Structure 1
């Protein structure tokens, strides 16, 4: 029997798409048309198609690095374009410094930086939320908000019009329970989707990190699972969990829509074949079923059809 090979119009890609340590990815399509991925560190990668990535440098010069948390690392950035400039929120912490860690903000005219640090927005012990890391920015109904949190509840508050400070008098509000960190909110149709991660992120192939989601018709919740259980009570739906090839998939990025209208999500995971590379960046397509985000088999793909741009 003759075997016939069919070639689709779409290309094929393989995971991971960033073959080096790139944890906690955040992505933006910049004004130059390219995509930029920022990760804990804060290293920057660039791509034209979400598949082929090259490292373009660091967000901060050595002299320009934030210094308000002595000895602190720069974790889990969140990149945005606000009022004509690139605005990056970042966590700064020493390991285990749950009271003194906090969130800062930096700006640049170019997506590849260098970024100018604008300083600390708050520390945990100043805002009353332990382990205040993992920032996420969103605009809704003309207002700007920041969400954050790790294992002590997901919280949010309003920012100033330029996004560079907390709005005076704004109160914080809790929207997620104590099982979660790494929040990201995506608006689609009438629903807001709160993506978070749970489990252990950083134990190499023993990592249990899992990406989960709930949805709400209001930015401030309540976010619920399919049965109506609240994320405030640590109830959720699983989006991505580990498999035989990748362990600990989590801390997802913003969702990017391609030319065909397909949605793509990035996250990090440990590759079983190459754990020494650290938490590499992976990409998968989201399929929407009954207004719920689904990844095929709820696990990372090894190969798949590529996005179209």
Structure 2
């Protein structure tokens, strides 16, 4: 099922007051999942110059909450990227989804998806910027709509820089594509041509560079059917940013082949749409994603796990969300 069509009923449980949000029942030296126990799908985060991590996510499809943490475990809600007066308008009555936060040229640049129900050809990706990670963000409007760039269901943006050039990857179950951006990241580079880099099984792409490889993380399955959600996090690997991305047997993500990284267990289902990988002070890698909690199935809660590596392939201990684990070290 396509993510755009199932979000409206899932986000009302996000708290509206700007209060501290602590992991439930944390013992010293450990944390428990979910890290935030209310609906906070499609996470993206960045570490700012002030030492804090700032996390953006889908909320009630309107204004995008911003949370802040020093240790990746204890989060506080600091505000929202937009107000009702400043939120994007390029898709009338459209919802905001799946943000991607970046630092480009000294500005915090936020890419977002925008759509109305059923609007796979009118949905699109826009961009906003701010001087500080907590905003206020100024909207610069759309980069493109599906019908303008001829890619159905153009949502789920991801930004990456490579050899001085800036690129946007995007797509949702209609192919994953990439295109070059302008130097400030606020528009497409004039004359840039899109290219397809993965097949039709995927959405929520994120690319991680490590040890000479590019790892394309993505989500497959249905995100938004409550306890029946089948969302699963997968990965392929390439020695080139634009692929081909292959599984361990050399089969291509263009043919919808991949390795599984995170799947359901007895406490969490619908495990997908992961964030950037971030490192703690000991060099340990951490990833956020959303999941449906069996104990609290309304919405999709925020889950965190350590990413480990074996033979230059990523994995999560046990292949599914941890219930309790050692905290990141800062």
**Equivalents in 1 of 2:122, 2:151: separation in Å?**
11
Q: TM-score, normalised by structure 2?
A: 0.90
Does residue 300 (structure 1) correspond to residue 321 (structure 2)? The answer is: yes
For residues 231-280 of structure 1, the C-alpha deviation after alignment (integer angstroms, 9 at most, x for no partner) is 0000000000011100101000000011110000000001100112x111
**Equivalents in 2 of 1:120, 1:106: separation in Å?**
9
1:101-120 equivalences under 5 Å are: 101-120=123-142
Q: TM-score, normalised by structure 1?
A: 0.96
Number of aligned positions between the proteins: 299
Does residue 182 (structure 1) correspond to residue 200 (structure 2)? The answer is: no
For residues 202-250 of structure 1, the C-alpha deviation after alignment (integer angstroms, 9 at most, x for no partner) is 0011000000000000000000000001000000000000111001010
Structure 1 match to 2:45: 27
Structure 1 match to 2:118: 96
**Equivalents in 2 of 1:67, 1:159: separation in Å?**
22
For residues 10-50 of structure 1, the C-alpha deviation after alignment (integer angstroms, 9 at most, x for no partner) is 81000011121110000100111100110013111111100
For residues 47-88 of structure 1, the C-alpha deviation after alignment (integer angstroms, 9 at most, x for no partner) is 110000111111002100001101110000000011111000
* Unmatched tracts of structure 2, length 5 or more: 1-27
Structure 1 match to 2:188: 166
1:229-240 equivalences under 5 Å are: 229-240=251-262
**Equivalents in 1 of 2:242, 2:191: separation in Å?**
18
* Unmatched tracts of structure 1, length 5 or more: 1-9
**Equivalents in 2 of 1:238, 1:95: separation in Å?**
30
Structure 1 consecutive aligned stretches of length 4 or more whose deviation exceeds 3 Å: none
Structure 1 match to 2:94: 72
**Equivalents in 2 of 1:201, 1:187: separation in Å?**
26
**Equivalents in 1 of 2:285, 2:190: separation in Å?**
36
The CA RMSD measured in Å over matched residues stands at 0.8
**C-alpha displacement of 1:94:** 1.1
Q: Among residues 254, 259, 262, which one is paired with 2:276 in the alignment?
A: 254
**Equivalents in 2 of 1:122, 1:43: separation in Å?**
24
**C-alpha displacement of 1:95:** 2.3
**Equivalents in 2 of 1:160, 1:167: separation in Å?**
4
Structure 1 match to 2:312: 291
